[in-house]
């Protein structure tokens, strides 16, 4: 759950939610459920409380009741800041959305910014930026690199020695601020890759089209299902002969994309190959790797290096 709007504004309801979390962590799911139900009875318009109730009901295999709780979240918070629609899709109550709510992704990473690098690199063994850099170094130096979904600047740190100018774009302003503190980017700005209209943020304000000879997207596309907005943007950013280097979680299926329990998307190799062909990007290299670990298990992924024809 994104760390926003967690307090109900009612001390008794908040206390019951805290006790419920302690009981849940201790393995007493039924007692935790009862306390959360009491909490939302006290504050019926508490979206975070209903989301937690939906999660606990799902854990208890009370699927219909979990669906009811997640629908209540959406009724209270239509912008879907908690990702309730993704949960409904996983429970079979709605179609898998082409992408999550932008407010969900933004709030998720705004709250994650302070501990992002410690959690991802030190605890989960994240190595995508370094592995992409290995694919890119032979074609360096680059005149201009655009880092899509730059986050706190992990990919930027790898790209900086290889490029004269480095631009970063991200949906989360808190992540952008962390990247700014590294003093490695020449330009940083907010942009939403799921919105076609946000292409103007990356190709305006004095930043000309077809200007980049390298575009990177490290562990970014996993927060989008359909990539129909991303590939047109990349081809508009790239100069002829420019490179696009990116990672995906491997769906392990023949086509399309799937939503996983992690609330991230995985894509098939065939789906990516079709998009590359459609947008006149020639595949230069492909690598299958372990992207990171999640709940003690390796997450399989694919690195792609392509070139604008």
pLDDT confidence tier of residue 115, bands split at 50, 70 and 90: confident
Whether the pLDDT of residue 228 is over 70: the answer is yes
pLDDT confidence tier of residue 1, bands split at 50, 70 and 90: very low
DSSP 48-84: HHHHHHHHHHHHTT-HHHHHHHHHHHHHH-TT-TT-H
Whether the pLDDT of residue 2 is over 50: the answer is no
State percent of the chain over pLDDT 90: 81
Straight-line distance from the first to the last Cα atom of the chain, in angstroms, rounded to the nearest whole number: 42
Whether the pLDDT of residue 205 is over 60: the answer is no
What is the pTM assigned to this prediction?
0.90
Separation of CA 242 from chain center: 25
pLDDT confidence tier of residue 3, bands split at 50, 70 and 90: very low
Domains of the chain: 11-95 (1.25.40.10), 116-308 (3.40.50.150)
Report pLDDT for 185: 97
| Token digits of residue 75 | 């009724």
Separation of CA 86 from chain center: 13
Whether the pLDDT of residue 203 is over 70: the answer is no
Whole-number Å distance between alpha carbons of 10 and 133:
50
Q: Count of CB atoms within 10 A of residue 239's CB?
A: 16
Whole-number Å distance between alpha carbons of 71 and 284:
45
State percent of the chain over pLDDT 70: 94
> pLDDT, tens digit, for every residue of 59-95?
999 999 999 999 999 999 999 999 999 999 999 999 9
Report pLDDT for 4: 45
Report pLDDT for 118: 78
> pLDDT, tens digit, for every residue of 272-304?
999 999 999 999 999 999 998 888 889 999 999
**Mean pLDDT over residues 129-136, rounded?**
96
pLDDT confidence tier of residue 104, bands split at 50, 70 and 90: very high
Report pLDDT for 200: 52
pLDDT confidence tier of residue 201, bands split at 50, 70 and 90: low
Find the angle CA(30)-CA(1)-CA(261) to the nearest 5 degrees. 80
> pLDDT, tens digit, for every residue of 242-280?
999 999 999 987 779 999 999 999 999 999 999 999 999
pLDDT confidence tier of residue 124, bands split at 50, 70 and 90: confident
> pLDDT, tens digit, for every residue of 137-152?
999 999 999 999 999 9
Whole-number Å distance between alpha carbons of 19 and 1:
17
pLDDT confidence tier of residue 5, bands split at 50, 70 and 90: low
């Amino acid at each position: 759950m994104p760390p926003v709007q967690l307090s109900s504004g009612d001390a008794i309801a908040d206390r019951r939610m805290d006790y419920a979390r302690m009981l849940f962590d201790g393995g007493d799911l039924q007692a935790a459920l009862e306390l959360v139900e009491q909490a939302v009875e006290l504050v019926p318009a508490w979206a975070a409380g209903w989301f937690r109730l939906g999660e606990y009901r799902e854990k208890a295999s009370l699927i219909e009741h979990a669906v009811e709780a997640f629908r209540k979240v959406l009724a209270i918070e239509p912008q879907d800041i908690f990702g309730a629609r993704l949960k409904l899709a996983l429970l079979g109550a709605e179609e898998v959305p082409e992408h999550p709510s932008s407010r969900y992704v933004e709030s998720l990473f705004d709250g994650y910014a302070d501990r992002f690098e410690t959690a991802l690199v030190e605890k989960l063994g994240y190595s995508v930026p370094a592995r992409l850099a290995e694919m890119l170094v032979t074609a360096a130096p680059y005149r201009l690199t655009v880092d899509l979904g730059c986050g706190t600047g992990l990919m930027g740190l790898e790209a900086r020695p290889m490029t004269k100018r480095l631009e970063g774009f991200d949906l989360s302003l808190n992540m952008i601020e962390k990247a700014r503190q590294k003093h490695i980017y020449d330009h940083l700005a907010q942009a939403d890759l799921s919105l076609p209209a946000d292409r103007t943020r990356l190709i305006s304000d004095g930043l000309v089209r077809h200007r980049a000879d390298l575009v990177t997207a490290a562990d970014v596309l996993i927060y989008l299902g359909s990539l129909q907005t991303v590939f047109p943007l990349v081809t508009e950013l790239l100069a002829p002969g420019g490179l696009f280097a990116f990672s995906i979680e491997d769906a392990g299926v023949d086509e399309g994309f799937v939503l996983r329990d992690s609330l991230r998307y995985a894509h098939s190799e065939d789906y990516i190959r079709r998009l590359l062909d459609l947008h006149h990007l020639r595949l230069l290299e492909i690598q299958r790797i372990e992207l990171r670990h999640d709940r003690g298990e390796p997450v399989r992924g694919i690195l792609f290096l392509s070139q604008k024809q």
